[in-house]
Structure 1
Amino acid sequence: MTDNQGAWTLGCYGNPDIRTPNINQMAAEGIRFTHALSSNPVCSPTRATFLTGLIPSQHGVHSFLDPKYMMGPEAYNTLQEFTSLGEVLHAAGYTCGLSGKWHLGANMTPSEGFTTWTTKPDGSTQEFYDQKVIENGQMRVEAGYTTDFWTRKGIEFIQACKERPFFLFLAYNGPYSLGKLMLNEARNRHAAFYADKPLHSFPRDAMHPWQHDNKAFHNTDAARRRMASEVSGVDDGVGEILTALKANGLDDNTLVVYASDQGWMGGQNGMWGMGDHFRPIGAHELMMQIPFIFRQPGAIPPGQTCDALVSNYDFMPSVLAHLGLGDKMPQQPKSPGRDFSPALRGQPLAGWDNTVFYEMETTRAIRTERWKYVARIPSGPTELYDMQADPQERFNLFGQPGTEETTTDLSKELEAFFDEYADPKYDIWHGGGSKAKRHAP
């Protein structure tokens, strides 16, 4: 899992500028989902959703977690009231290891079924060198490149566990693409390659009026090149992990998934960042669209793509079903997640509903095969886009003549979904709270 990465930054998703040969090869050897979306645009909520199959108004993590809940006397595990993926796999006999970013609370100690635990004390990234890490219950400074460090610890875990079932959560805190580090020159082995590249895949556009943060990065070569370098740095790690699996005789017996916690925008529509970097909170497609690639030679036929609309809340039930553990999917709270595992085997998704839902605090959205409807409380603005005629979401059709019936239907479907799944305790739209600091008014 990567941190803040749009699918569009990868070669296998059409990017002509950024070098990602290992991820491209992984996609060629498995299945690539072309319309995978996150249910929230921020790291803590989306990671909680991947691990529980629940949406923010169920697990209560609506935004990125405050540092005081990760370290210190108020630290606690925000997933402790739920049964998560690591706990299910641990109970099924898997050894579970974390290497990388956690950002879900109580960072000093292993939780959620994990027994191997190497992480970082915070959620944000200040730089990728000389950074604090947590290893063996102690905090220290890792002098090297943290992207390489997470890979190295992941390989050590694979080698230690190769004789038994294991689950490695390799959670890179790169490419990140936010904060002051974006104006620093990259220092990894790709920096020199990108130093003079124009990177035209990052659009040049006037800054969107809703942009609230990240204004210094717009139309800036330094930020584009730093992002490209860090994406390629992660790609190196993917290559090393795949090589380690082959070297240890684990290639055919290991499901490898590549995903990001949420999408990211790098200039499209004059936007840089994700939903919380805009006022009002954003719900643009590229803030949601994540890379989603599954590879397991022999079990997943190579060279596949799937165009179904899938969400990160579909991840846990689908993975468990693929592993033969579908009956272990927790039933309380009821996940909105669906099982797309037939697609991994090259089978059609019969009866699949091409609809996904999204929320961040006071913003909620429904995305269907044709339409995107975004609602905000208490007073809007409301958005409606024809995603077939206007995939870049340039023309808001809300309130335009002829769209009344579509708007009404989508509004009802959005309301019905959250009425079914939201826990009143965490349903912000109806007075509920959040485990994280609120950002929207």
Structure 2
Amino acid sequence: MWRCIAALSLALISPIGVADDRPNIILIVTDNQSDKLLGVYGNEDVRTPNIDALASQGTRFTRAFAASGVCSPTRASLLTGLMPSQHGVHNGLPSVFDLEDYSAIEEFRSMPQTLSEAGYRTAMIGKYHLGVPDSPQIGFDYWVVLPSGHTTTFYDLEVIDNGQRYRVKDEHLTDFWTRRAVDFIEEQDSNAPFFLYLAYNGPYGLAPVVTRKPDNRHADYYRRHVPSFPQEPVHPFLRNYAIEASSGDHILVEQAANRDWLIEDPMELGDLGAKIEFSYAWQTIHALNNNEAMINLASQVTMIDDGVAAVAEALQKKGLNENTVIVFTADQGAAFGQHGLWGNSSAASPFTAQREHLQVPLIVNDPRVAEGPETSANIINQVDIFPTVLELAGLGDIEIANSPGRSFAPLLRGESPEWDDAAYFEYITTRAIVTSEWKYVKRIFGQPSELYHLASDPGERHNIINDPDKAATLVWLDGRLTDFFSEFSNEKYDPWRGGTAKALMMYWDYNEDFESTFTDWRPPFVERQERFSDLPR
């Protein structure tokens, strides 16, 4: 029976001392989820009582930002504390590599590797999307993963479970990940701490899965209570994306982009429907103003909420809840109608960096500090999570080489450290800086830039990039953005300085702008790197 965790005991325990007192750490990461899809972040239509309860006894950050716009680079940043221009993963990685046992981040210090070598038992359950998935990588011991990164359904999918491949039948994949996480927790004892990376591939919210009729236990509820999602005209950047995907068939694009998309089946539109059915771009547009997509997305979020309840209950039954830190976040955000956009930053041309794409939920429940709820408006970068986890594990003295991340553990303790309130974002040709008052989005190859005064325009509706009165502010923000990447990026992987990417830069290898702009530009590559370790070789 699914239970709310509001009554979960979170008694105080002693601060970190000897190794045996180190906390267990559970990092729960959802896929393409805006913070606006959670009740505790203000959504009154999507039911998330267990995530809300987690926040009610922890710290909720209202301004946490992803490092990039799609799954592989954000997950790489989360686990390494590095930006994409440092670790070299710039786009969603393929599912198959020519190099056996390839990991895209093996040469860097990572969260699982560091914790494993410090004596933690480590588990990877869910979506990995950072290399060859056949066997454990980067310090994980327990290994239950999805072989691919793109989700087309939540049923009848193949998984890799500690060396065994099989299909998960008659069970929603979110429930499967939860069940295997509970199995792992039940195997633990108090003799050694554990680290569980529970990486759901839901709610996902991308085409084609989001435009299909959901078949899970919450769908009927949302059919009776259809969520109120934003309904706006198609954004020009999404329209551009569809034009490119349609090989320049502008008449078809205009016909489709101006339709009423509240239809049961795009195939009903004949030849146009066939184009939609087989085009990712058109299915993305089809999700806009579509009740079925809204029902689907909301129900997948509540499926994850059930999983949070099951994990919390398993901890309590094992007596581990009083010494387990739970971090709940997402890889990146995604629009669900705002500005006439749907999905993550890749579903537009040029790539988008709206609030819904960058901002993610971040909740930290640490039972060793005073009970909340606490809310922090400090700006948190995704690369800050790794150093924070190290400090929580009593490993704060370990250096993450060249990382721009900083531990926000003092904020969890109610302290007021000096804090540079700025977040940085990059997705190939689009970069951004966000401060408490301003947001500046900069693009290369002649693509348009954007400037928003967040203090008066939190919805980012008025681009004032050409306002002469804001020229000095623009210079200041541009300087900060440039200085940040000049300090931290690796020229080898900095696409703005002619750098390349691991495995993939632009989808479908649309790399012409790089090839024509940078002499002797190196195409994306896959190569073995020396595996990082603190242990003697």
Determine if the TM-score, normalized by the shorter chain, exceeds 0.5: yes
Is 1:54–1:313's contact at 8 Å kept on the other side of the alignment?
yes
Once the two structures are superposed, residues 184-241 of structure 1 have per-residue CA deviations (whole angstroms, 9 ceiling, x without a partner) of 22222111101132311x1111111111231110100000000000000000000000
Distance 1:68 1:74 in 2: 10
Once the two structures are superposed, residues 281-340 of structure 1 have per-residue CA deviations (whole angstroms, 9 ceiling, x without a partner) of 111111011110011223253200000011111100111112211112322xx1000111
Matches within 5 A, 1:76-115: 76-115=102-141
Alignment partner of 1:134 is 2:201: no
Is 2:101–2:135's contact at 8 Å kept on the other side of the alignment?
no
Match of 2:403 in 1: 335
Distance 1:136 1:354 in 2: 42
Q: Which moved more, 1:60-69 or 1:42-51?
A: 60-69
Is 2:95–2:132's contact at 8 Å kept on the other side of the alignment?
no
Match of 1:421 in 2: 488
CA change 1:146–1:300 in 2 (3 A) is farther
SS at match of 2:147: coil
* 1:363 shift after superposition: 1.0
Q: Which moved more, 1:293-302 or 1:354-363?
A: 293-302
Distance 1:117 1:356 in 2: 32
Matches within 5 A, 1:208-223: 208-211=235-238, 212=241, 213=281, 214-223=284-293
SS at match of 2:115: helix
Distance 2:69 2:468 in 1: 31
Matches within 5 A, 1:360-439: 360-439=427-506
Match of 2:85 in 1: 57
Alignment partner of 1:207 is 2:234: yes
Once the two structures are superposed, residues 126-147 of structure 1 have per-residue CA deviations (whole angstroms, 9 ceiling, x without a partner) of 1001111011213211101110
One-letter amino acid matched to 1:137: G
Distance 1:409 1:247 in 2: 54
Distance 2:310 2:289 in 1: 33
Matches within 5 A, 1:106-185: 106-143=132-169, 144-163=171-190, 164-185=192-213
Q: 1:194 aligns with which of 202, 222, 226?
A: 222
* 1:73 shift after superposition: 4.8
Once the two structures are superposed, residues 388-437 of structure 1 have per-residue CA deviations (whole angstroms, 9 ceiling, x without a partner) of 11111111101212011001111111110000000011000000001142
Match of 1:283 in 2: 353
Q: 2:314 aligns with which of 244, 247, 250?
A: 244
One-letter amino acid matched to 2:383: Y
The list of structure 1 runs, each at least 4 consecutive aligned residues, that deviate by more than 4 angstroms after superposition, is 72-75
Match of 1:31 in 2: 59
Unaligned runs of 5+ in 2: 1-28, 242-280, 514-537
- The alignment-based identity, stated in percent, is 43
The normalised TM-score by structure 1 is 0.97
Aligned residues: 435
Distance 1:335 1:387 in 2: 27
Distance 1:46 1:301 in 2: 30
Distance 2:200 2:189 in 1: 22
Distance 1:173 1:203 in 2: 24
Is 1:301–1:346's contact at 8 Å kept on the other side of the alignment?
no
One-letter amino acid matched to 1:389: S
SS at match of 1:297: coil
CA change 1:240–1:197 in 2 (3 A) is same
Once the two structures are superposed, residues 266-291 of structure 1 have per-residue CA deviations (whole angstroms, 9 ceiling, x without a partner) of 00111111111110011111101111
Distance 1:300 1:85 in 2: 26
Is 2:96–2:132's contact at 8 Å kept on the other side of the alignment?
no
Distance 1:142 1:346 in 2: 44
Q: 2:96 aligns with which of 23, 43, 68?
A: 68
One-letter amino acid matched to 2:45: D
One-letter amino acid matched to 1:170: L
Is 1:40–1:360's contact at 8 Å kept on the other side of the alignment?
yes
Match of 1:318 in 2: 388
SS at match of 2:156: strand
* 1:39 shift after superposition: 1.1
RMSD of aligned Cα (Å): 1.2
Match of 2:415 in 1: 347
Match of 1:305 in 2: 375
One-letter amino acid matched to 1:421: F
Distance 1:73 1:366 in 2: 36
Distance 1:36 1:308 in 2: 8
The normalised TM-score by structure 2 is 0.79
